[in-house]
Amino acid sequence: MLGRNVRVGGTQVDLVCRRGNQLVLVEVKRRRTSARGGARQALGYDQARRLLRAGMQLRGRYSWVAGMRVDLVAIDGWRVQIVRSAIDGDTHLSESERVML
């Protein structure tokens, strides 16, 4: 665990962790009910993009980083679900940004 509520540029990252040589950004979403699509659906395109870009900036702060991913902790009422690699670079990043991943 490297930090909570870390600000990178204009983005706030809920949790920043390290797993091996991988930088893991965690976004926590909570919804009281899953009536309107639930927490997993609450992570929109723009926010996903911001998170990936924030991760790419954060990489520069740590010398050990060999890769990164963004996980999502989705809380619906009492049900907690962890989605690994919730955001994929193919759909959220431009060609030139993808090469930097």
- Could you tell me the smallest distance in angstroms from the CB atom of residue 32 to another protein? 29
Helix ranges, the chain (H): 45-59, 89-92, 95-100
CB of 20 to another protein, least distance (A): 10
101 is a site residue for another protein (CB under 8 A): yes
Is 90 a binder of another protein (CB under 8 A)? yes
Q: How far is the CB of 99 from another protein (least distance, A)?
A: 5
Which tokens belong to 91? 């759909």
Under a CB-based contact definition with an 8 Å cutoff, are residues 18 and 51 in contact?
A: no
> Per CB under 8 A, does 4 bind another protein?
no
Q: Residue 51 in contact with residue 25, Cβ under 8 Å? A: yes
57 forms part of the interface with another protein (CB under 8 A): no
Whole-angstrom distance, CA of residue 32 vs CA of residue 12: 22
Q: Which residues bind another protein (CB under 8 A)?
A: 22, 52, 55, 66-70, 84-85, 87-90, 93, 95, 98-99, 101
